[in-house]
Chain A
Amino acid sequence: MSEQAHATTGTYLRIAAILVMITLIEVGVFYVPAFQPVLVPLLLVLSLVKFVLVVLFYMHLKFDSRLFAFLFSGPLLLAVGVMIGLLFLFFGAVRLRTGT
């Protein structure tokens, strides 16, 4: 199969280092009280970066056919959309609740 540009071992190690550093930052953010107000968006962004790095480089998606990116990101976006929709339905919109 034709392989285009390829990440090197060095790249993989560098990415691993970045992933570890981000994880450390995430844990740090969790513990440092000063970050509480921005905790959620900050953590979401940090974990998104980790997610993207693993998918693009370790899963080789950056260098592979765009079809694979579509097969993954389509359902992924759908899942995120569904999740957001459900959260709105359960916590957002005004609704009558029976019971609690």
Chain B
Amino acid sequence: MSHAHHTSMGLDNRKMAFWAFIGSECLLFGSLISTYLIYKGKSTVGPFPHDVLNIPFTSFSTFDLLMSSLAMVLALAAIQRGDMKQGKLWLLVTALLGLVFLGGQYYEFSSFVHEGLGLTTNLFGSTFFVLTGTHGAHVTVGVIWLLTLWVQALRGKLGPEQAVTVEITGLYWHFVDVVWIVIFTLVYLIQ
């Protein structure tokens, strides 16, 4: 899409827009996390965090997401140097690891509901599900985005000339990972 257009800062428009978007998302997640923290300990009825949060399980989810970020940078590096075979592979791996994360979230959410913690049960339920649900929705969008690029690559329509697009995909994916790092710490580890 972009050819030799003069820019005043020598930067790609889309990349600049995306960093601004990521900045904006910090306020979005910041507000949700603030709401969680403000209402922490204010639930009048259980279940409470220590009743339901499963640290070993969630640690695995965290590990999974971190590995997906690794897969993403490997995908980008491959595509940047024109190695589309590796590029396709790592894009798919990233997406699959994302799906594993989502599967884990689904499992976690249903087991919580099974244990009596629903969206409306108490403030913990409401803040937890809205915060992690929003994050999960972001992961879902990311997986769809990655699979779209993978299909585009399968069709031979993704190459080094589209490296910036892949890079932006990576920025989104890593940001979603980084938000999870914050959530894992503030929600799960610091109870």
Residues of A within 8 A of B (CB): 1-2, 7, 9, 12-13, 15-16, 19-20, 23, 26-27, 29-31, 39-40, 43-44, 46-47, 50-51, 54-55, 57-60, 65, 67-68, 71-72, 74-76, 78-80, 82-83, 86-87, 90, 100
CB pairs A–B below 8 angstroms (6 shown): A2-B10, A47-B184, A58-B177, A59-B174, A67-B19, A75-B26
Q: Is the pair A43, B72 in contact by a Cβ cutoff of 8 Å?
A: no
Give chain B residues whose Cβ lies under 8 Å from the Cβ of A23: 59, 62-63, 66
**Is residue B113 contacting chain A, with contact meaning CB distance below 8 A?**
no
Total residues of chain B contacting the partner, CB 8 A: 48
A56 to chain B, nearest CB (A): 11
Are the CB atoms of B70 and A43 closer together than 8 Å? no
Given A16-B66, A30-B189, are A76 and B72 neighbors across the interface (CB < 8 Å)? no
Q: How distant is the Cα of A71 from the Cα of B72 in the complex, in angstroms?
A: 22
> Which residue in chain B gives the minimum CB-CB distance to A3?
B80
A13: which of B29, B55, B70, B167 is its contact (CB, 8 Å)?
A: B70
A-B complex: 4 closest residue pairs judged by Cβ atoms: A79-B30, A75-B23, A47-B185, A71-B19
Which of B's residues lie within 8 Å of A, judged by CB? 9-12, 15-16, 19-20, 22-24, 26-27, 29-31, 33-34, 37-38, 44, 55-56, 59, 62-63, 66-67, 69-70, 72-74, 77, 164, 167, 170-171, 174-175, 177-178, 181-182, 184-185, 189-190
Give the residue name and chain of the B residue nearest to A44 (CB): B185
